[in-house]
Amino acid sequence: MGHVQRHSHWEIAVKRLEGKVALVTGGTSGIGAGTVERLCAEGARVIFTGSNQAAADAVCAATGALFIRHDVTDVSAWDGLMARILEEYGRLDIAFANAGTENGDGSIESIGIEGWNTIIGVNLTGVMLTVQHAMRAMARNPEGPVGSIIVNSSMNAHRAMGNFVAYSVSKTAVLALVKSSAVHSGNRKYKIRVNAVLPGVVETAMIANLIEKSGDPAATRAAYEGLSPMGRMASVDEVAGLVAWLASDETRFCSGSEFTMDGASTAGMNGV
C-alpha cells in the first residue's frame, strides 16, 4: 500500500471535512483507498467497504478509518450496513460510490452473459444501491436532508472502448443515474448534491500490475500514458483531491454535473 503514505505533497492546511461522516465503497485499494486517506486527512470520519481484509487492515492502520465487509451487489446487506453507520455515527454526509469492476468484459461479439451481468451488477446496480441508501440516510440527518454523493464514472463514459463493452455502458449509464438523482433531490427540496467524477487512466496498483504482467511493460506503459495528451496517467491522490473537493461545502452549488479529470484525454477525442 505504497500510496497510503503520500500526505507530503498535498497542500492541506485546513480540514474542510471536520465533523462529516463519509462512506466509500470499494475502499480497500486504488482510488477508493486513496480517497479514504484523503477524506480522513481533511478531518472526516470514514467508513469504507470491500472484501479484501488484509488490504483493508492496512488502510485502517494508515488512516484510522473503519472497515465494514460489504459487497455493493448484496441487496439484503445494505439495510444492515446503513443501520450500523447511523447507529455508530448518527449521520451521513458524504458517499463515494466507487466500487467497480471490468472482470469478464469483452467486445460486443465476445462478452458472455455472466461477465455482462457481473459488471452491470457492480458498476450500475451497485452504484444505484449506493446512491439510494446514501440519499435515504442523508435525508434523515439531524439538521435536515443535506449531503454530497459522488459517483465514480470514467472518461470512458464519453469514450467507449471496443473491448470493454459492459464497462463503457455502465460508466455512461451512471451519468443518467447521477442526473436523475440530483433532479429528484431538488424536487424534494433536499440539500443533497449528486455529482460524477470522470477520471482518465489512473495509475493504481491494478494498472501497475497489468503493465508489469504484459508481454512488453514499456510499450504497455507508453500506451496508457499516451491516452492523455499530458503524456502521463493520473495518480490516485489527484482523483482523491477532486472527490474531497466535491465532498466539501466548497461545492454547495454543484449538483447533477460531470467532473472530468483526464489530462485532456477527452477534450479532443483523438481516438485510442
Partner 1 sequence: MIDLGSQRLKGRVALVSGGLRGIGLACVERFLAEGAEVVLTDLEAPDTDHAAATLARLGQAASYVQANVAQEDDWAKVLSAVTERHGKLHILVNNAGIDLTGPVAETSLEGWRRIMSINVDGVFLGVRTFVPLMAASGADFRGGASIVNVSSIMGLVGMSEVSGYNASKGAVRLFTKSIALEFAEKKMPIRANSLHPGFVMTPLLQEGFQRWVDKGVAGKAQDLVDLMSSKTPIGRLADPSELASAVFFLASSDSSYMTGSELVVDGGWTAQ
List of E strands, the chain: 21-24, 45-50, 66-69, 94-97, 146-152, 191-199, 258-261
Pick from 189, 213, 218, 271 the residue near partner 1 by CB under 8 A.
Answer: 189
Active site residue 167: yes
Among 178, 211, 227, 247, binds partner 1 (CB under 8 A): 178
Distances 261 to 156, 162, 172, 271 between C-alpha atoms, Å: 12, 22, 16, 18
The only residue of 75, 108, 183, 222 in contact with partner 1, by rule CB under 8 A = 183
Q: How far apart are alpha carbons 199 and 260 in whole angstroms?
A: 6
Q: Among the candidate windows 7-15, 49-57, 65-73, 114-122, which touches partner 1 by CB under 8 A?
A: 7-15
Site map (CB under 8 A) of partner 1, residues 16-55, x = contact? x---------------------------------------
- In the complex, the smallest distance separating the C-beta of residue 165 from partner 1, rounded to whole angstroms, is 26
DSSP strand pairing (66-69 vs 146-152): unpaired
Cα of first residue to Cα of last residue in the chain, in angstroms, is 30
Inter-residue contact 224 to 164 (CB < 8 Å): no
What is the biggest distance separating any 2 CA atoms in the chain, rounded to whole angstroms? 56
- Shortest distance (Å) from residue 186 CB to partner 1: 3
Residues binding partner 1 (CB under 8 A): 9-14, 16, 178-179, 182-183, 185-187, 189, 191, 193, 200, 228-231, 234-235, 238-239, 241-242, 244-245, 248-264, 266-268
